[in-house]
Structure formats: structure tokens, C-alpha cells
Amino acid sequence: MMYLKNYVLLIFFIFLVACETGAKEEEKPNELTKEFSEKFSLDKSWSLNVFKSMPSGKVRISSDDKNIYVFDSKGEIKSISKNGRKTWSNKLDTNISTGITLGFNKLLLSSSDGNVFCLEKSSGEILWQYSTEGEILAPPATDGDIVAIQNIDGRVTAVDLDTGKFRWDYRSVIPNLTLRGTSEPSFYEGFLFVGFSNGNLAKIEPRSGVTQWEIPITTSKETSEIGRIVDIDGNFVFSGGIAFVATFQGDIAALDTRSGRFIWKEKTSTANDLLSSRGKVILIDEKDQVIAYSQNNGDLEWLNKDFYLRELTSPKKIKSLIVYGDFQGYLHVLDTNQGEQVARQRISRSKIISVSVEEETVLALDSKGKLSLFTLQ
């Protein structure tokens, strides 16, 4: 089914591109020509080549107060100190697709053939391995008791964090044609929340696996297969008992986490992670426009179109700012109050694929495997 979905999706996209060729000039990414008032700087501490082969799923740069944890698609995992020195490495006999989830002194990674690995954080020793029999493209999540894993076919599996033994599973019905990706399961106020490729959000009791509710965020009225793609691929955020979640070709919505009742909903389209900051929920849409909505009522707070089609990473929060990378190797910093750019720095000649933030430091990973650490000044 997975290969059929990917093949059909590829054929549809080729068809759409062919139809548009000649009908209109191809849209081009915005050039970075606009002047702005630079109020901050990104001071580089070090850069290090950490892998040669880019993973197929979501890449998260995970770190604690001492080390940074990275991996490549060939199964090599590294722990790097904050001064850029390798503290340990391990090689798994598989192709790693996504990770790393860090928590409770353990590292969690997933492979393209559906295996989940749990490693000891201090040494990289493999503690257990579990096979889910389905491709995994989003990092696992854990609350200290279970590990929640979502496969590309809409199945969620829970295993014991300490032993890797099966607890329960749950499946949502997924359409044949979807984007290639899934959102990451998320724990909030004692419950597990999962967004699916059918545009549904589910609330699950994590000990028993009993579903509290599963609600469609977007219900498409389109007649074409392409038009009905409404995946939840980006991670959602929570604030004050409200879940903020967005779909591709659909909506961004605020829901009461207890009842699943909609508080507000606005049209949008994104496959990126959401971000919550200072009463706003911020997203980067499918055209790489940066948009901020009021958490209270969904009103548009600001819209920044300067980065149109620049293939931005998901935004990360640092102080009262957000930071993200683009396809030309730039890091951009915006003020969350007005959406104005306050810093920019080119850190690579390759595409930035992942950005992570801890306190006043920014970690950025490019598509060639170069990891760089910066301090916001």
C-alpha cells in the first residue's frame, strides 16, 4: 500500500506540473533583497560534518545540557558535546528514517522498515528494539511510561519504555493518496494526541489505548484525489487546555482538549510544525509565508510574505523571537510581536533541513550533514 500511494502521488504531481507548464510562468522563490533593521546577531561557535546521507523522515536535533544527538540514514548515531567534540557513536544495522526523541535518559529512533530503537543516552547502547511492520516517518513520543509510534499507514502503536513490550495499538482509516509524512504523537495533560493523514485528530488514554474522541479537523469537498489531501503532517501545540492543529489544504483550528469542541477555525495549508508564542500560534504555510494567528479567536495578527517559496524549515522559538532556515542555507530570525525580521545569516551553501533551539543557542543542520551551533546576541 505504501509504495502504491507514493507511486500514485508521483503520477498526479507529474500530471499537474505538465498541465501548468506553458499556462503560466513558473513561480520563483523570493530574493532576499529587502532591507531590515538588524537588532540581533548569530555568532558561530563551531561547525562539524556529522553525516553523509540524509534521512527520509523528519530530522530532529536533540540536545540536553551537555550533549547533542544526531544520526544519519545509514544507521550511525553520534553524541557530540556542546563544544563540538564527539563523546560516543554507535552503528545500527538498518536505515534510520526519523528521530531523535530524547527523554528519561533514553534516545528513541525509527527505521524505514518500521523498527523502533531505544538507546541508553550516556553510551548509545541498544536497550531494546521493536518492529511495527510499517514505515515510520515521524519521531516516536514518550511520557516516561509508554512510547507512542505512528506508522505511515495510520496505525499508532504503544510499547513499554523500559522493556519495549507491546501495550496496545489503534488504527485510523487513511485514504489511498496522502502526503509522504506523518505528524508526531504528542502527550498533553495525561492524554496522547495523534494527528492522521486523513485530517483527523484523536485523543487516546495512554495506559489503556481507549480512544476518547477522533475528530476531523478538515472535511474536504473537493472531487479530485489531489484536492482531498488534508494530512496533518506538522506537529501541533497546546496552551491553556487548547490544542492548535493545522492540515494541508484545509484549516488551522483551536480545539478544547477535553471535549474536542472547536473554538475557532481558519483556512490555511501547511505540513510544517506549529509554534505557540505570546498569545499567538505561528505557522509557515505551503507557500512559505509566515503567519501568526490570535490564540483567542483565530484573528490574523500578522503575515510575512518575504520568504515566499524559500523552502523554510519549521519555526523554533528563542526568547520572544522565532528562527528557521531556508533552501539557500540562510538562518532567519523574526520578532513574534509584528513578524518583522531582526537577524539573518547565511551559514551554508546547502539547504537547511532542521533547526533546534535551547535557551540562547541555535543548532542548524544542512542537507550535506553539517551541524552548526550559534549563540543569539
Radius of gyration of the chain (CA): 20
Separation CA 31–CA 326 (nearest Å): 12
Q: What is the pTM of this model?
A: 0.91
Q: What is the pLDDT of residue 23?
A: 44
Mean pLDDT of 275-288: 97
Mean pLDDT of 311-316: 97
Question: For all residues of the chain together, what is the average pLDDT?
Answer: 91
Residues 6+ apart with CB under 8 A from 122: 105
Residue 210 has pLDDT above 80, yes or no: yes
> How many other C-beta atoms lie within 10 A of the C-beta of residue 240?
8
Q: Provide the 8-state DSSP code for 226.
A: G
Confidence of residue 56 (pLDDT cuts 50, 70, 90): low
Residues 6+ apart with CB under 8 A from 358: 63
Give the distance from CA 129 to its chain's centroid: 23
Q: What is the pLDDT of residue 175?
A: 85
- pLDDT per position as a tens digit, 70-116: 998 889 999 999 999 999 999 999 989 898 999 999 999 999 899 99
Question: Is there a contact between 114 and 150 (Cβ–Cβ < 8 Å)?
Answer: no
Q: What cell does 103 get?
A: 527523554
Question: Is there a contact between 95 and 124 (Cβ–Cβ < 8 Å)?
Answer: no
* Nearest partner of 309 among 38, 58, 32, judged by Cα: 32
Question: Is there a contact between 237 and 254 (Cβ–Cβ < 8 Å)?
Answer: no
Residues 6+ apart with CB under 8 A from 53: 72, 73, 74, 369
Question: Is there a contact between 254 and 276 (Cβ–Cβ < 8 Å)?
Answer: no
21 forms beta bridges with 24
The per-type count for the chain, helices as H runs and strands as E runs, is 1, 32
Separation CA 33–CA 35 (nearest Å): 6
Mean pLDDT of 315-329: 97
Question: Is there a contact between 201 and 243 (Cβ–Cβ < 8 Å)?
Answer: yes
Nearest 10 degrees: CA dihedral of 280, 283, 285, 289?
70
Separation CA 29–CA 26 (nearest Å): 10
126, burial (CB in 10 Å: exposed 0-12, middle 13-18, buried 19+): middle
Tell me which of 361 and 223 has the higher pLDDT: 361
- pLDDT per position as a tens digit, 164-204: 999 999 999 988 888 888 999 999 999 999 999 999 999 99
* Nearest partner of 150 among 193, 199, 211, 213, judged by Cα: 193
Residues 6+ apart with CB under 8 A from 36: 340, 341, 342, 344
Mean pLDDT of 317-322: 95
Residue length of the chain: 377
Tell me which of 59 and 4 has the higher pLDDT: 59
Residues 6+ apart with CB under 8 A from 54: 72, 73, 353, 367, 369
